Chains A and B, each alone.
Chain A
Amino acid sequence: MTAAESTIHVDALSKTFRVPVREAGLRAAAKSLVHREHKDVRAVEAVSFEIQAGEVVGFLGPNGAGKTTTLKMLAGLLYPTSGVVRVLGHVPSRRESVFLRQITMVMGNRNQLQWDLPALDSYELIRAIYRLPAEQFRETRDAFIELLDLGDQIRKPVRNLSLGERMKAEFVGALLHRPGVLYLDEPTIGLDVTMQKRIRSFVAEYNQQYGATVLLTSHYMADVEALCKRVIVIHHGRILFDGGLADLAARFDSTKTIGVTLRDGVADLSPYGDVIGTEDGKSTLRVPRADAPRITSRLLADLDVADLTIEDPPIEDVIELVFADASRAVDEARTAESAASPR
């Protein structure tokens, strides 16, 4: 896989912010007048990955992990401290017009349409800025409006729209120029389940129709499961995992979940594994991944089983486990560091 082949090529990308620090209180405030102290915050550390054309990749991590900082470097909003980024063959930080015409970034908590005007007016401005041919513009706009079922909402001032309607209108505006690379930063944040689904299916359809490359951050695992075959997990600015969503569970969670429904009601299943829940006659067991086939055979042999399912644990649980592991590793490293430092 070479840089020339990849739509997004990231190599040893780092971003360090220099931030002022001072203790609380008047004394510290007075001290800071003559001597300002700073510290370097490493938001992203030596991150490397490749994304191919048409891929939809989930970029996961807890708050402050470095997801948004990375996306902003890929979009040309931030200058990297070090490392190499190329998107569609361009260096994003140069912010060349030809590059900006091929990307978009949707930020779930930010509004980029004119607040006091109907979205239609903002779309006109987007048409002019991206120099879209009138016919292509109308065709794309109308298709997206229909796909997102926006109807007459685009004729209301944006401030009068609900959050979900606004987000849909944002999506139309962000994709009118048919970008080849989409950075979606928490696009479904705060939306109800129906609206989340609508946005997801729209993104999936756009990806299919235009072969666009999508990098998505979301705290809603449903977004990731619905759209992404591949995920990149980042924590404390470093990549912990880059691979298939299915492989994430295999790598970080050594368990499987077995759901058992018995014909004659509920029985004590604790001899077979950890019972993590019982609902509507169905018991859920957590068992070591390697033992799952053997335990399943035992359950079928020993009990009158009406239904049995074997699943990977929910992705939310796996992610939680990944972050917990990573935090533990960081804590251990810090403890080791402080023990080694001279006193």
Chain B
Amino acid sequence: MIARASVGVRAIASARALVDVYLTEIRIAIVEQFQYRVGNYLYMIGMVAEPVIYLVVWTTIANQQGGQVDGITAGDFAAYYIVWTLVRNMNIIFTPYGWEERIRQGELSGMLLRPIHPITWDLGYFAGWKFVVIVLWLPIAFVLGLLFHPVIDPTPLDIAVFGLAIWGAYLIRSVFYWTVGMITFWTTRVGPIFELFITAELLLSGRLVPLTLMPDWAQRLADVLPFKYSFYFPIEALVGNLSDQDLYAGLAMQLFWIVLGSVVVRIVWRFAVRKYGAVGN
């Protein structure tokens, strides 16, 4: 009984310590990113260019087809792509390209010396960055709203699920991109593999077009892959007409992919770290 209680106390202490690490990382990221607010703004504006192009194209098509495409109106497209800009920024994570640099510069050696998994740093730091992003995103969303007139009428449940789903999306993307990045331990140039992965994500996540506009086979394929839960689902949770059941099911699927991705990271990491050369770093 006493042993069980002490295990419980240790577990609580560990959890509190981990929360402390994350909060400190988040604070560091916020301080650091606010220093670079101009750079961040320019980065966001560059990032917003992508959905604005999609939005202009689809709005034009909708207008040419009597105001809608497959039941999606110009206002729906505007809502979809404006929310897209927030989800995309929430989805900024440590990319596989960074691994090459991290290994070459010896930065990973420093991380490996610490008694904490290196993914903790990436998760905490990029999560902190989000708070800066949200603040900077608000005026951009306001301007886009004035220009494109989005139609959006979420319920309180939609908003609550969206609030959870954007963090779920962030975690899904983090764990899967971490896994892809770890290929760098086996091959020096991970770029081409990353390009393949990002192309698959572009097509099957709802990033390029809403998934309902994709062929049936692509939608079925998207259902069994994690990508749509990092873009399409959070956007649809806020702007779509998902039933309560669909909303809960979506969150459950996000949880499934986060757990699966975390297990994959854990397994691959064990082998990857054995391959770490660290020559001269």
Contacts and interface: CB of A to CB of B under 8 A. Distances in A.
Contacts, number: 72
A107 B281 CA distance: 9
Contact of A129 (B21, B27, B35, B278): B21
Nearest to A130: B115
Nearest to A75: B113
Nearest to B110: A112
A96 to B, nearest CB: 8
Given A68-B280, A78-B276, A125 B24 contact: yes
Interface in B83-131: 106, 109-110, 112-116
Contacts of A17: 277, 279
B20 interface: yes
A77 interface: yes
A121 B128 CA distance: 14
A103 B17 CA distance: 20
Contact of A125 (B28, B115, B276, B281): B28
B270 to A, nearest CB: 10
A124 B24 contact: yes
Contact of B32 (A79, A98, A114): A114
Among A98, A101, A107: residue with most chain B CB under 10 A: A107
Given A100-B114, A103-B113, A105-B113, A110 B106 contact: yes
A338 interface: no
A63 B224 CA distance: 52
B25 interface: yes
B4 interface: no
A298 interface: no
A75 B106 CA distance: 14
Decide if the interface of chain A is mainly helix, strand, loop or mixed: mixed
A77 B280 CA distance: 12
B14 to A, nearest CB: 9
Contacts of B116: 97, 129
A155 interface: no
A116 B32 contact: yes
Nearest to A117: B32
A129 B114 contact: yes
B249 interface: no
B276 A77 contact: yes
B225 interface: no
Nearest to B33: A116
Interface in A79-130: 79, 95, 97-98, 100-101, 103-105, 107, 110, 112, 114, 116-117, 121-122, 124-125, 127-130
A114 B28 contact: yes
Given A77-B278, A125-B24, A95 B112 contact: yes
B28 A78 contact: no
B115 A101 contact: yes
A140 B230 CA distance: 44
21 contacts: A17-B277, A68-B280, A72-B109, A72-B278, A77-B276, A77-B278, A97-B115, A97-B116, A98-B115, A100-B114, A100-B115, A101-B115, A103-B113, A104-B113, A121-B31, A125-B25, A128-B17, A128-B25, A129-B114, A129-B115, A130-B115
Interface of A: 17, 43, 68-69, 72, 75-79, 95, 97-98, 100-101, 103-105, 107, 110, 112, 114, 116-117, 121-122, 124-125, 127-131
